[in-house]
Amino acid sequence: MNILESLGKLVQESGFAAMMSGDGWKNLVMIIIACVLLYLGIKKQYEPLLMVGIAMGCLLANVSALGGFGNALYHQDLWDEFLKEGGPHAHSYGYIMANGGLIDILYMGVKAGVYPCLIFIGIGAMTDFGPLISNPKSLLLGAAAQFGVFFAFFGATLLGFTGNEAASIGIIGGADGPTAILTTTKLAPHLLGPIAVAAYSYMALIPMIQPPLMKMLTTKQERQVKMEQLRTVSKTEKILFPIIVTIFVVLLLPSTAPLIGCLMFGNLLKETGVTERLSDVAQNALMNIVTLFLGISVGATMVGSNFLSIQTIYIVILGLIAFSFSTIGGLLVGKLMYKLSGGKINPLIGSAGVSAVPMAARVSQKVGQQENPSNFLLMHAMGPNVAGVIGSAIAAGFLMSVFG
Amino acid sequence: MENAGKLPLGTALVDSVLGYAVVFIGLALLMLVIILVGKIMVAQARKTAEKAAGKLSNTRSPEEYERAVSGKPEPEKPAVPLAPGSAGEVRIYDTDPRDAAMIMAIVADKLQKPLNELRFVSIKEVKEG
């Protein structure tokens, strides 16, 4: 083989040549999308901890795909075989372990629903349920703000998605990344990439999505309401809360056990006061490691051949609708509570029921303070905000038990 | 969007309404449970406070007992001079303000920490004998 033949072979086998042939252009588009996501994560700081991982996973998967998957970190073909019902390697983790690359191995944690649960332990360890315990009516706002989940579910069905797909798309409205990932992994794994990206992108865009709706649906007088100071919650109440919620909610809806159980376990570690080391690990080391694994492996599912479809566009649109209607649901019940309480409850805290802790609560505080600079709604909004986490987990549990 | 497994619109609508109702009812019931537990806790805390106040009534003056039961704050004590440069937190007893400032500077120097990162509660001269 002379030097020219060797060079020609190298060029033919390179990813650049693959980019120009067949479906290679799809991978090129995905590489551009990955670069845009990297820009949004790094420069605009849209959920950077996850967005950078997702973007890099997407970049690596598509660059590998152009190189022919030989020594790739992620192998879409292995996962296609894994999902092929009745095939020789259907649901065989051993097959993935024997033939997969690094991201394939990491992705097994997503597939088995391990990462979202571990993240929920971390979230639980970081969450103070005090504002919710001192004002339990906040739970109604957390429930109201799941409206978008079911509205988008119905919308997705109208657009022709299957029940499982529609349920996975609807849960974007819960504004809770791990819940969306767990539900999608169980119900419609082929949609994981676009749903994860839509969920995290809209969570990052909450400060832009919510304020116009909040101003549109509330009057100036309502936005100016100053709320009474919350009562102090005792340590015993804080310890009892995760135990009571676990028993009550899991008995009510057993399919919520992975999410609610892990969330409350993390919170119990925080509140007992005798497991500080474990609480610290859950809040920091564990959370960071799992976020790293989750981001890169979810991003790797965004391979051009799967991602670039009309479905993705529908998912992006339905995700925005889900977020908006969840906000509207929370605000409307907030307005109802304002009326029933004789003007003591500021309806702006209703929009914080969409989960997305603590960003949604911060938005309520900011919009409230724009109307009345001496108004501090943050702690009042944290109640519905953490109630939204429980609400979205219950919504996901319902959808998984109906369609799972 | 496979045709297989497509959901009839009527069923989807029923599922949506049912799902929203389940979330609402679930959280409303949880709210009732938390309110109940909260009420028990508050009642118990009040009971404990009353018991403690009852014990105190044997050893305290009628004014002090009244304060303990009603939860009123204690009347302010005569002001103790504050140490200079302490952001108004340090109370000094039988100590010259200059000495107090010097003591705080020495402690900060020994600990290798900036003075504004340390919190001095009080400085009191210990008299021997």
Question: What's the pLDDT at B58?
Answer: 60
- Is position A32 within any domain? no
What is the reported pTM?
0.78
Q: Which residues of B touch A394 (CB under 8 A)?
A: 22-23, 26-27
Tokens 């015993």, residue located: A236
What is the tens place of the pLDDT at every residue in A166-208? Answer: 999 999 999 898 999 999 999 998 898 889 888 888 888 888 8
What is the tens place of the pLDDT at every residue in A341-364? Answer: 999 999 999 999 998 888 899 999
Question: What's the pLDDT at B46?
Answer: 85
Residues in chain A predicted with pLDDT less than 50, given as ranges, are none
Question: What's the pLDDT at A93?
Answer: 92
From chain B residues 77-106, the ones with a CB under 8 A of any chain A CB are none
Question: What's the pLDDT at B6?
Answer: 81
Question: What's the pLDDT at A280?
Answer: 96
- Helix then strand then coil, in percent of chain A rounded to 5, is 80, 0, 20
A311 and A194 in contact (C-beta within 8 Å)? yes
| Rg (alpha carbons) of chain B, rounded to whole number | 31
Contact B22 A394 (CB under 8 A): yes
> Domain spans of chain B?
9-70, 78-129
Question: What's the pLDDT at A68?
Answer: 66
Burial (Cβ within 10 Å: 0-12, 13-18, ≥19) of residue A19: middle
Query: Rounded to whole angstroms, how far apart are CA atoms B79 and B93?
Result: 11
Q: What are phi and psi of A278, to 5 degrees?
A: -65, -40
Interface test with B, best of A139, A231, A232, A240 (most B CBs within 10 A): A139
Q: What are phi and psi of A346, to 5 degrees?
A: -80, 120
Contact B27 A398 (CB under 8 A): no
Q: Which residues of A touch B31 (CB under 8 A)?
A: 136-137, 139-140
Nearest CA distance, B93 vs chain A (angstrom): 34
What are the distances in angstroms from CA B128 to CA A56, A88, B96, B103?
70, 89, 17, 19
pLDDT in 10s for each residue of chain B, 129 residues: 544 568 899 999 999 999 999 999 999 999 999 999 999 988 888 888 888 877 666 666 666 666 655 556 666 555 555 555 545 567 888 888 888 888 888 888 888 777 777 888 888 887 764
Count of domains for chain A: 1
Query: Rounded to whole angstroms, how far apart are CA atoms A291 and A295?
Result: 6
- Is position A238 within any domain? yes
How many contacts, defined by CB atoms under 8 Å, are there between A and B? Answer: 109
Q: Which residues form the domain of A300?
A: 113-403
Task: Tell me whether B33 touches chain A (CB under 8 Å).
Answer: yes
Q: What are phi and psi of B110, to 5 degrees?
A: -65, -40
Nearest CA distance, B43 vs chain A (angstrom): 12
Question: What's the pLDDT at A302?
Answer: 86
Contact A136 B38 (CB under 8 A): yes
What is the helix (H) or strand (E) element at residue A326, kind and residue range?
helix A310-340
Give the CB-side neighbour count of residue A263, counting CA atoms within 13 A: 28
- Is position A382 within any domain? yes
- Among all residues of chain A, which has the CA nearest to that of B38? A237
Tokens 């999410």, residue located: A259
Contact B5 A162 (CB under 8 A): yes
Contact B30 A390 (CB under 8 A): yes
Question: What's the pLDDT at B114?
Answer: 77
Residues 6+ positions from A24 with CB-CB distance below 8 Å: A18, A66
Query: Rounded to whole angstroms, how far apart are CA atoms A220 and A226?
Result: 12
Question: What's the pLDDT at B86?
Answer: 47
